[in-house]
Structure 1
């Protein structure tokens, strides 16, 4: 949420960092919620790149 708000509280954290952390903590995902979160972060990263143009 902090990345979406462009908060200074995230420091140098990027969307790629969030994906990496989430992948590392994914574990069992019987309902696919964690995989969906990772996909949402990737989508947000793409939208952020478009918005930065």
Structure 2
């Protein structure tokens, strides 16, 4: 997901990335709002981009 990469490279915290995804209208796998934990686990993003 380009938004995730751009925000991560810019140094935004996961909470800010979640807000950016919601503002852009990017749906989660279950259709809810993004959260830091949903980005960290990356069940919704191919390749699990930010898994720690």
TM-score class, shorter-chain normalisation, is 0.3 to 0.5
TM-score, structure 1 normalization:
0.37
Task: Write 1 or 2 for the structure with the bigger share of helix.
Answer: 1
